[in-house]
Structure 1
Amino acid sequence: MSELLVLRPGPMVTLQDLGRVGLMHQGIPESGAMDPEALMLANLLAGNDPGEACLEFAMFAGVFRFTAAARLAVAGGTFRASCNGVPFPVGRSIDVPEGAEVEIGPADDATWGYLAISAGFAVEPVLGSRSTHVRFALGPIPRVLTAGDRLPLRLGTLQEGPRRRATQGRQPPQARAIRVVLGPQDDRFTDEAISTFLAGTYWLTAKFDRMACRLDGPRLAHRDGADIVSDGIAYGSIQVPGDGLPLVLLADRQTTGGYPKIATIIGADLYRLVQRRPGAPIRFVAITTEEAEAAWRRHVAARNTRLAAVRDLAPPSPASAAGMMIGP
């Protein structure tokens, strides 16, 4: 069987697809990609369905060996990638030979990246998804990858058809303030705290994982303490525990929580939060629910346009087809 061998993985490499949808009422988190559009782009470049499972990584993916020729693509940011020591560009598919060692290093413009392999991984879904949730030990590979892991691949031969490239990009994540809808417990904060939250500057800390990221900056005062009756938590909910520092809940968030939520990041701006790197400044601006819904519709339309703009590459030259099989 064709396999991907994990030689030296990064600190947070897991298998993810678009998530385990529809089970939160049973206490099962959604999981799934931190940046769904980047996962979908990587898959389309590799010739897969957009929701196929990929390797998701934070900061850098590490080093892997392919036991068979394969087609792959990397998306999410300008990650430094190489095959057998020779750099290759991200945002397009490449063909690598049997025995190839692929290394994916850090990017200057993103945190989360995706490695898609043509035809995907030969693993079975768990509760309707191949996504990993580490704390719940859910998924066909229910943990972060470690050196020595062997992931079965569906294809043992090179994917047929032309290689592909992305032709349209989206705004950089740091391009503007992150839009939020206040609530659902903004009434549990003082008026001064609301003003501080919207006028102040926060910074992403290095305390982050797939469950949450902690912000540093002005502390926010609660009106009647920091405990509430637990209720549901959306992707992008901003909880404020007793220390007054905001905590943004992410893809692997728990389904309910007992701290008041001052605001929720709108769906169209989630990538602007998760793809900023530790130490980046964050500012928030409040909009209405109606404005958030309109922004989501525009976001989905623009995302679909970007994904539809993936184009075939010209066939590689004989020189570039030799050895690494990476075309222009």
Structure 2
Amino acid sequence: MSTMPTTMEVVHPGPIATFQDLGRHGVMGLGIPVSGALDERSHRLANRLVGNPETHPTVEATLGGLAVRFSGPVVVAVTGADVDVFVGDRQEAINCVLRVPRGTTLRLGAPRSGLRSYVAVSGLFSLPTLFDSSSTDLLSGLGPEPLQAGDRIDLRRPDPGAVNPAAISFAPVSVPTSHVICLVHPGPRRDWLTQSAWETLVSQEFCVSPRSNRIGVRLEGPTLERRRHEELRSEGLITGAIQVPGDGRPVVFMHDHPTTGGYPVIGLVRAEDLHLMGQLAPGDTVAFRPA
């Protein structure tokens, strides 16, 4: 006799919540961004805690507020931003294994620090894939739509014994902070900006603009002066590129960035530091130092 699949019902999506995995690789030549979890470390940790492969999608919830209800008992983990987690009326912690009974709502509060939470559920969300990924790309609209109240997503059950809470019940990791230091490499168009622009980039502090999103982290503060003012032909971009538009205010391109751009790239954020950029909320600050 067949059994009904467990479903996750979205009670409230919060400001924005999307499905993200490790992204689409090898297709930027087609104009398709990588996408995927902005804080990849937290995404991987959430999956490990519930016994999933790290490639499985998680829910990336920005600024908390997510509430989801499950039609059957599930094992979940919440990582990333420092938020209050509620299973029904019971308050729980982040970075640990949580058991959610059938019909119970999992709810996230507003972050005290950090920006994005990652919710993993033991098993696999039944989602469409494109180029081996179920990530939502907000720039092109590829992948599943952002979550909306009333959405129901089926869950494929995990293999029996996939989760061993006694071995991985809690992960002692640090929570995001409101100020980070990221290492940067010189970019391919550093010579299009003045030497003082580079010195400013790697010595001053910048503030995250409210206009930031999954496409790019826009920075406010000191402006970076261009040495050359002619038009630059569009050229390829990669995640972590620090582009300087005409107003001199740098933009750090994140996972949903366009694959080409026509402003000079002064630097590249070290790949190992991108998860820090992915947790910066508006008003947080970042300092860059030479790699």
Task: Please report the TM-score for the alignment, with normalisation by the length of structure 1.
Answer: 0.82
For residue 103 of structure 1, what is the amino acid of its counterpart? R
Aligned ranges for residues 243-254 of structure 1 at < 5 Å? 243-254=247-258
Report the equivalent of 2:12.
8
Rounded Cα–Cα distance in structure 1 between residues aligned with 2:162 and 2:190: 54
For residue 147 of structure 1, what is the amino acid of its counterpart? A
Runs of 4+ in 1 over 6 A off after TM superposition: 156-160
Percent of residue pairs identical:
32
- Give the C-alpha shift of residue 28 in structure 1: 1.1
- Give the C-alpha shift of residue 121 in structure 1: 0.2
Aligned ranges for residues 1-328 of structure 1 at < 5 Å? 1-139=5-143, 141=144, 143-155=145-157, 161-163=163-165, 164-169=168-173, 172-173=176-177, 177-225=181-229, 227-287=231-291
- CA offsets, 1:111-153, max 9 Å, x none? 11100000120123212111111332212x2x21111111111
Rounded Cα–Cα distance in structure 2 between residues aligned with 1:57 and 1:235: 20
- Give the C-alpha shift of residue 160 in structure 1: 6.3
Rounded Cα–Cα distance in structure 2 between residues aligned with 1:167 and 1:63: 23
- CA offsets, 1:232-278, max 9 Å, x none? 11111111100110111001011111110111100111122221222
RMSD: 2.0
- Give the C-alpha shift of residue 68 in structure 1: 1.1
Task: Please report the TM-score for the alignment, with normalisation by the length of structure 2.
Answer: 0.92
Rounded Cα–Cα distance in structure 2 between residues aligned with 1:159 and 1:126: 30
SS in 2 for 1:282: strand
For residue 100 of structure 1, what is the amino acid of its counterpart? T
More helix by share: 1
Contact 1:118/1:159 (<8 A) preserved: no
- CA offsets, 1:272-294, max 9 Å, x none? 2221222122211112xxxxxxx
Structure 1: which 5+ runs fail to align? 288-328
Rounded Cα–Cα distance in structure 2 between residues aligned with 1:99 and 1:157: 22
- Give the C-alpha shift of residue 209 in structure 1: 1.2
- Give the C-alpha shift of residue 78 in structure 1: 2.4
- Give the C-alpha shift of residue 172 in structure 1: 4.9
Rounded Cα–Cα distance in structure 2 between residues aligned with 1:233 and 1:156: 38
Structure 2: which 5+ runs fail to align? none
For residue 237 of structure 2, what is the amino acid of its counterpart? I
